[in-house]
A and B are shown apart, each in its own frame.
Chain A
Amino acid sequence: MIFILPFVYILLMAVKTKQEAALFLFAWPSEWRAWENLVEVVQTRNYMLLLAYFNSTVITLGAVTLLVIFGAMVGYVLQRRRSPWNRVVYVFLLIGLMVPPAVVPTIWVLQNLGLFKTIHGMILIQVAYGLSFAVLLYRSFIASIPRALDEAAIIDGARPWQVFFRVILPLLKPVTVTLIVVQSVAIFNDFTNPLYYLPGRENVTVQLTLFNFQSQFQSQYNLLFMNILLVTIPPLLVFVFCNRQIVAGMTSGGVKG
């Protein structure tokens, strides 16, 4: 119950009238205003929510695509090629996993590269922050693919990139699905990084709209909660359709006891 009630509350608040919502009561709405509220939220500030959805989608898709390709390529070389550098790289990956980014210096770097306040800058940031996870996930999976497969392909005349793209990558499908699901939820829900690196109206992401509307809708809690509801829908869909992959991914080899 404790886990469901807040969602029921969000749902109820989202369909109330403005006056009723302002009371904060956990009560059945006297009047269902779902559609009106929806339309109103979408229209506010020149359809900002639609723009935000578009931006968030672009960022999520772009970053996840790059993460899959980069993560698999790095994990592959790291697993297959013994070298004294591997330990160093491993340490950096752990650092990347644990250490929070240094915000202001990152803004400084982004500004110097002309990437500050841009969508592609944001994509690259998400790639940089998600890379460690992707590499470690792929590396441990690739360890279970026999090397003889690479060698068979090499003897068949495959160039290195052909070995990777035509033999290894297709075999990584299960982890790739996991990675896509986990990372897209994480990136779609990310608030902190867009807050720092994507200020400004034209680049808002979905999470930022919530934050902006929080001040704007002080008196219109119904709309604010409708917005929350809309923002919750994509993860809900992912959850409904990919529950298995998520569970697999979250616990993948996590506990080898």
Chain B
Amino acid sequence: MSSVVLSDLCKSFGAIDVIRGVDLVIEPGEFCVFVGPSGCGKSTLLRLIAGLEEATSGTIRIDGKDVTDAEPSARGIAMVFQNYALYPHLTVRDNIGFGLSLARRPKAEIRARVEAAAEALQLTHLLDRKPKELSGGQRQRVAIGRAIVRDPKVFLFDEPLSNLDAALRAQMRIELSDLHRKLGATMIYVTHDQVEAMTMADKIVVLNGGRIEQVGSPITLYDTPASPFVAGFIGSPRMNLYDGRAVGESCATYGIRPEHLKLTDMAPRWRGTVRHVERLGADTVIHLDVPDLGDMVVRADGDRNPPIGSMLGISPLPGREHRFP
């Protein structure tokens, strides 16, 4: 179990600043998720920690040791890539054992460690296949096996599940969480996926334009987002955000989540015309047109089905409004 500490980390590609002064502490054994819009620098930050990119300035410490200039293999990390990056010409066994064989470990030891890792991931019966003879989920497991066998201090994942279908993704999510619990290792995980971030993370780091917007537990980010950006990014459907003056508030931005709006005819705060209705079963998502504000999304009970064009009254739940200065 190791901590990862980034101080004032910067990275530019030529004239483009991609990472702009990141300070971050990841505690030993923590499952830390990086989220943010596409192109915000999540992968770059992960690759800086891995040592695949060189920092322009700032330092990276793993387990208290400055590794800013260390070779990737000397950092005690393992990485799982989005497209698995399995060596196509090697069998599953040799893929998992590649690092050990480079390190010239004895054959017997390699064999034992590879088989232990395969066992843990239910890959034993696939050990002599080539990657192209495996399904997506199996390939992903091999990639994880290749990471485990290195016995790293820190695991790095770059959108590892994004190539899997929805059902498999849900299953792998649980498996990864189990693995984290079992190994107790520090894990850093990049994703686009809200659900992955909310369900797996001990700590979420929201990145925007190469800077950290907010760091905190999933619930903290949901309940008390520090900025409209974070508020809009965490939670689905996304929070309704309006100019403060338009809703008669003194703050710069006013926000209210769709699930924190209730439909009411008793002195509603706003009235809107139903423009579109999405019935998801458990709930119904209603898109309304509110005069002066524009679009407003409300999450209502699954049995609500207001006709398009009808007029509804809406009020926020008390204490659930967000006001950003």
Contacts and interface: CB of A to CB of B under 8 A. Distances in A.
Q: Which range holds the interface residue count of chain B?
A: 20 to 34
Contacts of A148: 81-83, 85
A190 to B, nearest CB: 33
A57 to B, nearest CB: 30
A246 B108 CA distance: 43
B52 A154 contact: yes
B106 interface: no
A156 B98 contact: yes
Question: Which among A151, A153, A155, A170 has the greatest number of chain B C-beta atoms within 10 A?
Answer: A155
A103 to B, nearest CB: 43
B77 A155 contact: yes
A174 to B, nearest CB: 12
B80 to A, nearest CB: 9
Contact of B102 (A146, A156, A170, A171): A156
A155 B73 contact: yes
A154 B51 CA distance: 10
**Majority SS of interface residues in chain B?**
loop
A167 interface: yes
A86 interface: no
A152 B102 contact: no
B85 A151 contact: yes
A149 interface: yes
Contacts of B146: 152, 156
Interface of B: 50-52, 71-73, 77-79, 81-83, 85-89, 98-99, 102-103, 146, 150
21 contacts: A146-B85, A148-B81, A149-B85, A151-B81, A151-B85, A152-B79, A152-B86, A153-B98, A154-B71, A154-B72, A155-B50, A155-B51, A155-B52, A155-B78, A156-B73, A156-B99, A156-B102, A156-B150, A157-B103, A158-B102, A171-B88
Interface of A: 146, 148-149, 151-158, 162, 166-167, 170-171
